[in-house]
Amino acid sequence: MKIAVITGASSGIGREFVKQIDRAEQLDEIWLIARREDKLKQIATELKNKSRIIPLDLLKPESFEEYKNMLCADTEVRYVVNASGFGNMGDWSEIPNEAQMQMIDLNVKALVTMTNITIPYMKKGSMILQMGSASVFNPLPYFNIYASTKSFVRHYSRALHEELKPLGIHVTVVCPGWVRTEFFDHTNDSKVRYSPKKYSPMTDAKDVVCRALRHAKRNKALSIYGWFTKTQHVLGKLLPHSLIMKMWKGMLKENK
C-alpha cells in the first residue's frame, strides 16, 4: 500500500502539502495528522485519493505508538511531511517554560520521532520533507527558542540527507520566510515587549509548497522560496551573527 503521511495537515503549509501531493500522485491513501479532527475531515472531502484521518496530539508520547501500530509490512511511505509546529515570540522570561518545552517537543522531538518511525517503510525515491524556516540561518533574540528548534531541524535534516543517500531516500528541509497561515494566531506577538514591525514579504503557502515538492523530487537538501529568504541565506553565511542579530533587532518594534 503506497501512502503519504502529512503532519500539520489541518491548516496552512501542511494542508497545502496534502492538496498538492493529492493532485500530483496516485496513492492508496493519504494520512492526515493533526489534533483538529473536524478540519482534517473537511480537507479529506476535497481529495481525489483515499485518505485516513488520524487525529493525534504529537505532544503526547502515546500518539507515536498509535502511528507506529498503523504501519505494517506492506506499507510503503512515498512521502512523509513533518509540518506540525508552532512558534511563540518573547524573551526568555515572557514565554513560560512549559511553552518553551512544548516548542522543543513538537518542532524537534516529534519531527525526529515521526521520521525515525517512518524511514523503515520508505524505499528508493521516497521523500522526507521537514519544515524548517528562514529562522534557521542565525540566532534570533525574542524568537529564540523557535529559531533554535528550526536550526536543529536544518542540521538534523541535512545530515540525514547524507545518511539516506545510499538508500535513495530524499530528505529536504523547507525554509520559507513569513507565510500567510494560522501560524500568526499562536505567536503571541501583541502580548510581548518586542515583535516584528511588519511581516514582510508575506508569501503564499501554495508557492512555498510547489517549490518544496520540486526540490524534494530533485533531492535538494535545502528548499528556499523567494528572493528575500535567499538573501537572508547568503547574508547568514557572509556576515557575523552579531551583525545579523543587530539587523533583526532593527526590524522589531517595542509594544507598549
Ligand X SMILES: NC(=O)c1ccc[n+]([C@@H]2O[C@H](COP(=O)([O-])OP(=O)(O)OC[C@H]3O[C@@H](n4cnc5c(N)ncnc54)[C@H](OP(=O)(O)O)[C@@H]3O)[C@@H](O)[C@H]2O)c1
Which residue ranges make up the site for ligand X (CB under 6 A)? 7-8, 10-14, 34-36, 39, 57-59, 83-87, 106, 131, 133, 176, 178-179, 181-183
Tell me how many helices (H) and strands (E) the chain has.
9, 9
Residue 2 or 47 with smaller CB distance to ligand X: 47
Quickly tell me which residue has 503549509 as its cell: 13
List the beta bridge partners of residue 55.
Answer: 34
Contacts 24+ apart (CB under 8 A), 179-182: 179/12, 179/13, 179/203, 179/204, 179/205, 179/208, 180/204, 180/205, 181/11, 181/12, 181/13, 181/205, 182/11, 182/12
Closest CB 3 distance from ligand X, rounded Å: 18
Residue 179 or 252 with smaller CB distance to ligand X: 179
Closest CB 9 distance from ligand X, rounded Å: 6
Residue 7 or 151 with smaller CB distance to ligand X: 7
Closest CB 227 distance from ligand X, rounded Å: 16
Closest CB 102 distance from ligand X, rounded Å: 8
Count of CB atoms situated within 10 Å of the CB of 17 = 27
Closest CB 59 distance from ligand X, rounded Å: 4
Rounded to whole angstroms, how far apart are CA atoms 27 and 6? 13
DSSP letters of 40-61?
HHHHHTT-SS-EEEEE--TTSH
Rounded to whole angstroms, how far apart are CA atoms 221 and 198? 30
Residue 99 or 245 with smaller CB distance to ligand X: 99
Residue 11 or 75 with smaller CB distance to ligand X: 11
